[in-house]
A and B are shown apart, each in its own frame.
Chain A
Amino acid sequence: MNVFGSGPGIERRVNVANNDVDVIVAPRGSSRPPGIISWFRSVAIAIRSLLTGMRVTAGYLFGRDKVVTQQYPENRETLEMNERFRGRLKLTHDDNGYMNCNGCKFCEIACPNQSIIIKDRRNPVNDKSELDQFIWRLDTCTFCNACIQVCPHDALEWGQDFEGAVYDRRLLVYTLNSYAGPQARLIERAIKKDEQPEELKATIEPRSRYGTGVPLAGDELPGVPALGGEDKEST
């Protein structure tokens, strides 16, 4: 018997709140009997226990196949995230590059942190409400996935990019959509039914990442100059 008493537990059956519960009781080992010989024995056991632990660590020291450390950021090119990884919010686009979002604000309502601000506008051609600006506040987003879950048009998805650190917090609030205009579905339908597709496409206006209308981004802060309309930060 090991004096230190690590090892398998003792199985028993006890009654708890009128239920029979199978328990397994922690081993206690045995206490050292008095005497000089048992003292030497316990010292030997103690030393052996230290050597056993060192054998494990030595196995890692000399076992080259056991290396688990990844060399980030050197391995950026080969790094692959899981497909469901929640990196950075993105709008989805169809094959022609038109976005699926129609500015219905379901995601804005579902977001627990008010991290999404949707601005709508009315299209002069088909007189339908459509997305003007999709503002996403990365700084307050908790990556809870609620927006993607509720979106009825599958217009949102997670990107795989996780390197979001910037030097200016205003850069964390930005416009997600690259253009304001009708949803992909409406453009497709207009082309199919030939309902003024060219006029509809002509209503599309570009939107920049840190353009106007974004809270914080663009604005001047005490001692910090305004950012201006262009992308100051790639990615």
Chain B
Amino acid sequence: MTAPIRTLDDRIRPSDTPDSPLDTQEYFINMGPQHPATHGVLRLMLKLDGETIREVIPVLGYIHRGIEKMGEAMTYRQFVHLTDRIDYLSALVNNWVVARGVEVATGTETNDRIEYIRTIFAEIERIQSHMLWWGVLGMDLGAFTPFLYGFRDRETLTDIFEETIGCRLTMNYIQPGGVMHDLHPNFVKRTKAALAYSKSKLHEYEELLSGNVILQERTRDVGILSAEDAVALGVTGPPLRASGVAYDLRKVEPYGVYDRVDFRTAVGSVGDCWDRYWVRVEEMRQSIHIVEQLIDNIPEGKTMLMKPAKKIVIPEGVYYNQMETARGILGMVLVSDGTSDKPYRIHLRSPNFNNLWALDAMSRGGRLGDLVANVSSLDLVVPDIDR
């Protein structure tokens, strides 16, 4: 399956057959880079015919920091802390991708305790990321209340991070060979309390927003992304699953301890904004379920198996490794020349970059007002697109 390749010239050329009986003209407007609904410095060039979208052309580079290039000047252990900053709402999974890449390349085995801790934290982070998305989606669609509620409930989960790790957002916690700190003695108690709280709040979300007529009207059959388009464009994560493709790395290629827990993959059937909305809300429930299964069975063991001050030299070669973040598949290509303790080249396959291009496919032919719902339902984190 391949998507047709269209150059920028193709995209900005006026369409041949404007389907309006009036003598209309196509025009361009810029949405962003400073637009509250693009969640960061993302610029969208919109080719419009009246209010109908003919083309969405994303313009990137406003928050490019060259993280991959910076990685070449850092040791593997130092590079981990930069990955916090690509997709800051999945910081721990980003750390984990680097950590696992290095572990696979050097042939380091981790123990069960480390994998349990990593999995639990990754799932808690997924819940908090989706909670924030839920609030922001509500705000994008015109309801301010969900924004406050989403942030409020997310606090209880970031408190868990702060207690064990010391940070709330950019954590640098999962490292090659283990995790930075052992769990805080309070961890199990606090996590259970936070999960119970989150569960009750999910019910509230359902009442407040899911059943709401305005949300339903604005998301139903809006921004439909077919399964073929989604696969061809390399869309991953909740948008892919909402299009009906039940592809979740946690199920298909389990890492951590996902093969030992029972959970369901949430999928949609149409691929509209409503499916993407529901898939994420259901994923929060499933993540709570996963953590509940693991939290009582964390085995004993060491939490760091490599000495922090020791040099890590990876044998010469190219290594790839991927994981499912809250937004889709994050992959890391790591090239080592086998002599230095720094990577020769690092490339990240970030989920948001691919998901962004689906915006054109799902918005074309739709209305300008629905574009905001589409952007919101993709849950884009712009620093992850530009890196």
Contact = CB atoms under 8 A, between A and B. Distances in A.
Interface of A: 2, 4-6, 9, 11, 14, 16-17, 19, 21-28, 45-46, 49-50, 52-53, 55-57, 68, 82, 84-86, 106, 110, 112, 142-146, 149-150, 152, 158
Given A53-B208, A112-B78, 8 more contacts: A14-B246, A26-B274, A28-B269, A46-B213, A52-B208, A57-B208, A68-B155, A145-B166
A23 B266 contact: yes
22 contacts: A4-B216, A6-B210, A9-B266, A9-B278, A16-B251, A21-B251, A23-B246, A23-B264, A23-B265, A23-B267, A24-B264, A24-B286, A25-B267, A26-B266, A49-B211, A50-B213, A85-B166, A112-B74, A142-B81, A142-B172, A146-B77, A146-B78
Given A146-B81, A149-B308, A52 B265 contact: no
Most buried by B among A21, A26, A52, A106: A26
Contact of B78 (A45, A46, A52, A110): A110
Nearest to A87: B166
A26 B167 contact: no
B308 A110 contact: yes
5 smallest A-B Cβ distances: which pairs? A112-B78, A46-B213, A84-B166, A144-B81, A26-B278
Interface in B71-101: 74, 77-79, 81-82
A19 B78 contact: no
B284 to A, nearest CB: 13
A5 B211 CA distance: 8
Contacts of B213: 4, 45-46, 49-50
Contacts of A112: 74, 78-79, 81-82
B166 A21 contact: no
B26 interface: no
Nearest to A52: B207
Nearest to A46: B213
Contacts of B172: 142, 144-146
B171 to A, nearest CB: 9
Interface stretch (B2-10, B123-131, B157-165, B331-339): B157-165
A27 B270 CA distance: 10
B162 A53 contact: no
A26 B279 contact: yes
A21 B211 contact: no
Contacts of A68: 152, 155
A84 B165 contact: yes
Contact of B145 (A27, A50, A57, A82): A57
Contacts of A145: 166, 172, 180
Contacts of B152: 68
Interface of B: 74, 77-79, 81-82, 145, 152, 155, 162-167, 170, 172, 180-181, 184, 204, 206-214, 216, 242, 245-248, 251-252, 263-270, 274-275, 278-279, 282, 286, 308-309
Contacts of A19: 251-252
Contacts of A23: 246, 264-267
A26 B283 CA distance: 11
Nearest to A12: B267
A9 B263 CA distance: 14
Contacts of A143: 167, 170
Contacts of B212: 49-50, 53
A92 to B, nearest CB: 16
Contacts of A46: 213
Specify which of B165, B170, B172, B204 lies most central, judged by the most chain A CB atoms within 10 Å of its CB. Answer: B172
A27 B82 contact: no
Contacts of A56: 204, 207-208
A55 B266 CA distance: 29
Nearest to A66: B152
A6 B214 CA distance: 13
Task: Pick the most buried of A11, A25, A56: most chain B CB atoms within 10 A of its CB.
Answer: A25
B252 A150 contact: no
Given A84-B165, A85-B166, A110-B78, A26 B207 contact: no
Nearest to A31: B220
A52 B211 CA distance: 9
Contacts of B266: 9, 23-24, 26
B268 A25 contact: yes
Contacts of B248: 21
A55 B251 CA distance: 39
A22 B81 contact: no
Nearest to B162: A82
A199 B162 CA distance: 45
Nearest to B210: A6
Contacts of A49: 211-213, 216
A76 to B, nearest CB: 18
Contacts of B209: 53
Contacts of B242: 26
